[in-house]
Amino acid sequence: MAHQQHTDKGQDRSLDVQKEQASISQENLKGYWQANLSLLAQLLCVWFAVSFGCGILLADWLDQFSFFGFRLGFWFAQQGAIYIFVVLIFVYSWRMKILERKFGVDDDEVTK
Amino acid sequence: MTTQILTYLFVGASFVLYIGIAIWSRANSTKDFYVAGGGVHPVVNGMATAADWMSAASFISMAGIISFMGRDGAVYLMGWTGGYVLLALLLAPYLRKFGRFTVPDFIGERYYSKAARIVAVVCLIFISFTYVAGQMRGVGIVFSRFLEVDVTTGVIIGMAVVFMYAVLGGMKGITYTQVAQYCVLIFAYMVPAVFISIMITDNPVPQLGFGSEVNDGSGLSVLEKLDTVLLDLGFNAYTQGSKSTIDLFAITAALMFGTAGLPHVLVRFFTVPKVSDARLSAGYALAFIAILYTTAPAVAAFARLNLVDTVHNTSYEQAPEWFNNWEQTGLVGWQDKNADGIMQYSAGEQNEVEIDRDIMVLANPEIANLPGWVIALVAAGGVAAALSTAAGLLLVISSAISHDVLKQTLMPKITEKQELLYARIAAAVAVCIAGLFGIYPPAFVAQVVAFAFGLAAASLFPALLLGIFYKRMNKEGAITGMLVGLIFTFSYIVYFKFVAPELNSAQNWLLGISPEGIGFIGMLLNIASACTVSHITPPPPKEVQGLVDNIRVPAGAGLAPTH
């Protein structure tokens, strides 16, 4: 029965989980997750600051400064925030790779 | 060769390319059909995501909207790109680790409930159909303006092409055609942008030209000149906004959270091999998107300036050639109110020139006096943008039907082969419904675009976020939250857009937030009610808590079951 089959897969899955998590210590898992959360918090602060901060809330004040021919607040809203978003994702990707190696939860070896 | 023949040639050649790719990358299993086999390279997936994301609206309409909104247009620029940061940091890697086929799959399993899965399917179908109707219309419009066939014929040709590669190739076919479509659309967008930037500022990089001096010897920068010119004509200054700060904030937030909750974008991250690839791929996707999104505001400013320069106070006899060309399509119009034979463009009563915002991109090559092949390229680019998004949307609709509704809920006994057949049938039906929407556009299409983002922000995004980051969240909480967010946002938009449109102004809005931005409040209500309800109901079962632990660890994504 297909439904039966589905539950079997569910069991396989939990076996996989047990196998893989047995090889990684609980402290490492916890440390990895805490480090991930703190990295997320830092990057999301930057995300908020450049878009909602510089692009909207502080934009009028920033407009008194000139930046490559733009008023600064306007530049953040229509150009700068977007560039910083791109950089944020690559920084996240790079820092996470380092964290994962450090805590031994990297996904490299598994996929061969 | 005439522009007409070149356009046929370019659009025709791009279709041959898409169909060729579709035949080469046919889907042989449900895994191929739903997630392209799960082995897509992150750069390839990034490019496909960018094409998936950039719709006819991004390609044709966005620069025009910004052109007329000035500074406030930034809500779209930041809203539609900032969402990718949330997607990459908060959702994509975990959903990839979960490793199934659809977004409702995750919600159904994480909240151990068929009801939750069905609520997610309803949200998904509503969001996706709203979106796809606009795409098919976009295809029809490009066809009718550049190839001079009527909109219906245009839509039918577009349907036939999407049918070929979405039904045959599923996600696998769509992924590789989207890569080709990205290349076509970005080239088509950049070429005229570079030329118009050189024409106005001598700077070939539009992003820099946007801040440079105008080359007319006035010594003013583009934005300074635009401010001066527009103020003279009675408009607001280009660099000053007119929306309230709270409304700007709410709209930007609703678009960002909505972007991160759009199922057709999320599902693209199920196709890469590893968790780390999902993160990297989101970065590439945003980089590819940013090329167009940082060019659009430059095009917007150049086009507005150029428009005023060439049209205002020009006698109709000497009107530029593009003006006459586009007058026939009804996108620009002139009414000689004071009977002096001269076109006056201004804010207020005495304005004589009507301009449709779509013209800012479509007529750009002609405004900049570019050769016929550039015009043909823009036509092919517009079609590519519309088709790639339509195909991605149709795929999530069909997989929600065949996988979530049929296989997982109503007919669990069907074999994989039957499921694949149902997926193809569902895709075929969805293409036809989308086509009908394109031919007979419901009058409300333009009105409900805010729906798609608002509803995604208020329903799917919080359910996914809490499912990953809040282990205690249970099915009672999640279902309550989705329903509260959905019903609140839906009612607010329907009330102001349809029930009492005459009241749709700032003093009647809740906290001064327009229907476009209300999804943000809907999201906050969703999170608040979900957390409250989950606190007074039993915690989720042990296996589900184990599932949450599992998706938080990248290792082992390759082992995830594939059904």
Looking at the predicted complex, does its ipTM rise above 0.95?
A: no
Residue B403 in domain: yes
Cα of A104 to nearest chain B Cα, Å: 9
Q: Does A112 score more than 80 pLDDT?
A: no
Specify whether the CB–CB gap between B288 and B186 falls below 8 A.
yes
Q: Does A110 score more than 50 pLDDT?
A: no
Check if A28 contacts B (Cβ < 8 Å). Answer: no
Task: Convert the pLDDT of each residue in B60-91 to its tens digit.
Answer: 878 888 888 878 888 889 989 999 999 999 98
Residue A4 in domain: no
CATH number of the domain residue B131 falls in: 1.20.1730.10
Residue B345 in domain: no
Residue B55 — left, alpha, or beta (φ > 0 → left; ψ -120 to 50 → alpha)? beta
Distances (CA, A) of B86 to B164, B262, B390: 34, 12, 24
Specify whether the CB–CB gap between B7 and B147 falls below 8 A.
yes
Q: What is the pLDDT of residue A41?
A: 92
Q: What is the pLDDT of residue A84?
A: 93
Q: Does A16 score more than 60 pLDDT?
A: no
Task: Convert the pLDDT of each residue in A19-42 to its tens digit.
Answer: 555 566 777 788 888 888 999 999
Residue A6 in domain: no
Q: What is the pLDDT of residue B84?
A: 92
Q: How many domains does chain A have?
A: 1
In angstroms, the CA B484 to CA B478 distance is 10
Is the Cβ pair B82, A69 closer than 8 Å? no
Q: Which residues of B touch A106 (CB under 8 A)?
A: 276, 554-555
Residue B342 in domain: no
Residue B350 in domain: no
Q: What is the pLDDT of residue A11?
A: 46
Question: Could you say which of A2, A68, A71 has the minimum Cβ distance to residue B414?
Answer: A2
**Quick one: tokens of B144?**
């009718």
Per DSSP, the three-state class of B213 is strand
Q: How many domains does chain B have?
A: 1
Q: What is the pLDDT of residue A10?
A: 45
Q: What is the pLDDT of residue B210?
A: 81
Specify whether the CB–CB gap between A82 and B78 falls below 8 A.
yes
Range(s) of the domain holding residue B221 = 3-335+356-558
Q: Which residues of A touch B221 (CB under 8 A)?
A: 69
Specify whether the CB–CB gap between B515 and B493 falls below 8 A.
yes
Check if B446 contacts A (Cβ < 8 Å). Answer: no
Length of chain A in residues, anyone? 112
Residue B477 in domain: yes
Residue B168 in domain: yes
Task: Convert the pLDDT of each residue in B358-400 to its tens digit.
Answer: 777 777 787 777 788 888 888 888 888 888 888 888 888 888 8
- The residues in A 42-81 lying below 8 A from B, measured between CB atoms, are 43-44, 47, 51-52, 55-57, 63, 67-71, 74-75, 77-79, 81
Residue A14 in domain: no
**pLDDT under 70: residue ranges of chain B:** 1, 145-147, 329, 441-450, 506, 556-563
Residue A30 in domain: yes
Residue B200 in domain: yes
Task: Convert the pLDDT of each residue in B294-350 to its tens digit.
Answer: 998 988 888 888 888 777 777 777 777 777 777 776 777 787 777 777 777 777 777
Range(s) of the domain holding residue A87 = 25-106
Q: Which residues of B touch A3 (CB under 8 A)?
A: 412-413
Q: Select the more confidently predicted residue: A71 or B258.
A: B258
In angstroms, the CA B331 to CA B357 distance is 8
Residue B340 in domain: no
Check if A32 contacts B (Cβ < 8 Å). Answer: yes
Q: Which residues of A touch B211 (CB under 8 A)?
A: 67-70, 75
Question: Could you say which of A32, A40, A107 has the minimum Cβ distance to residue B276?
Answer: A107
Specify whether the CB–CB gap between B477 and B537 falls below 8 A.
yes
Q: What is the pLDDT of residue A9?
A: 45
Check if B541 contacts A (Cβ < 8 Å). Answer: no
Cα of B449 to nearest chain A Cα, Å: 22
Q: Does A109 score more than 60 pLDDT?
A: no
Q: What is the pLDDT of residue B20?
A: 85
Q: Which residues of A touch B73 (CB under 8 A)?
A: 78
Is the Cβ pair B211, A47 closer than 8 Å? no
